[in-house]
Amino acid sequence: MVRRGPAVATLLLSLGAVVRSPAQAIRGELIAAATAQQVPFGLILLFDVAGRERDRTTTAGDGRFVLRAPGPGEYRLRALRIGYRRWDSPPLQLARGQTLDYRIEMPEVPVQLAGITVEERSRCRVRPAEGEAAATLWEEVAKALSITQLTLVRKIYRFRTETFRRTLDPALNPLDEKRASDVGFGDWSFVSLPPESLAQRGFVYDSTGGPVYVAPDIPVLLSEAFLSSHCFRLQSAADDTTPLIGLAFEPAHGRRLQDIAGVLWLDRGTAELKFLEYHYTNLAAWIPAEHIGGRVEFDRLPTGAWFIRSWLITAPIPRIGAPRVELHGFRQGGGEVREVLTADGRSVRTFPKAP
């Protein structure tokens, strides 16, 4: 597994930058049209005339935002809220050095997931077309992932976390465990590799210390390389009473690399992303594939901010020196947030320790 390292700052900052004295910008606030209330942690995107995204941010607690434009010209805004249909602005003209004030009054049209039915043999499609159910679910997933990323980038909250690393025998019995506790602004619980590299070499590669199992982080999941090399389909929960609907993904047809497949689970009622489960594909015969993979749980604060609540990654350990490669055991790494605090240390929410 790939652990957290110095590269994390580069990965995180690539999705959002702090605006400092922009030459031209759009600033404003996001308002819910029906209630005239400011919307915190809405996602605001800026597109140029060619449809390319040029900046993104989340609204502050008072619904305000600032977006930087790379130059004068015509732009459009897009406002996104989890559980609601997106809103697009008319064309906006920006002159050189201009800061345009713009108030977004966004209609609250809910995204309807409750009525979506899952066919037993639904086709797995690369980049589902807009209007298809899989595309609707992906848009809600992308909102949650983007807001989670930008929440971390803006360093509004601190997180008290407990992490662990343990070794298990082949029967999954614990052999040793190391635990740690820390308070910090938080980041994605592991750092992946560049998406283009993973698309070319797969999610498992050999190193001098043995095979490395790469876990997907937010930049990977949102990348063009991942979306182009994986297909998506709907999946129902095993328990019919569970109010969840899944967006399953797997390597695109014909892809033979060691890759990942999994499910992003959303709440049917709120369209909120609950958790990601994934496993590795095309593994060697000695590896019990059902035990190899990971899980990431997401949560939402009353303010609308999103964060990573818990995570777990499991990888196999090969037996060295045997006549043939055999399973020696497993390595696991994971952790969970125990408390969320404001940047100045005031407690926002606590979580009891699981029994």
Q: Which residues contact 198 (CB under 8 A, 6 or more apart)?
A: 192, 214, 220, 225, 226
pLDDT at residue 13 is higher than 50: no
Banded pLDDT at 315 (limits 50, 70, 90): very high
pLDDT of residue 325: 85
pLDDT of residue 190: 66
Banded pLDDT at 16 (limits 50, 70, 90): very low
Residue with tokens 């999954």: 172
Are 275 and 289 in contact by the 8 Å Cβ rule? The answer is no
Phi, psi angle pair for 198, to nearest 5°:
-65, -35
Average pLDDT, the chain: 89
pLDDT of residue 189: 62
pLDDT of 72-130, one tens digit each? 999 999 999 999 999 999 999 999 999 999 999 999 999 989 888 887 667 899 988 87
pLDDT of residue 354: 66
> Where exactly are the structural domains of the chain?
1-110, 151-350
Query: Which residues does residue 334 pair with via DSSP β-bridges, in sequence order?
Result: 164, 312
pLDDT of residue 338: 95
Query: What pTM does this model have?
Result: 0.87
- pLDDT more than 90, % of the chain: 74
pLDDT of residue 128: 87
Distances in whole angstroms, Cα of residue 112 to Cα of each of 80, 85, 274, 293, 340? 15, 9, 17, 31, 31
pLDDT of 121-172, one tens digit each? 678 999 888 778 999 999 999 999 999 999 888 888 999 999 999 999 999 9
Query: Per CATH, is 1-110 categorized as 2.60.40.1120?
Result: yes
pLDDT of 219-249, one tens digit each? 999 999 999 999 999 999 887 777 999 999 9
pLDDT of residue 188: 60
Specify the range with the lowest mean pLDDT, choosing from 83-97, 173-187, 250-264, 272-286: 173-187
Distance CA 285, CA 120 (A): 28
Identify which has the larger pLDDT, 33 or 208: 33
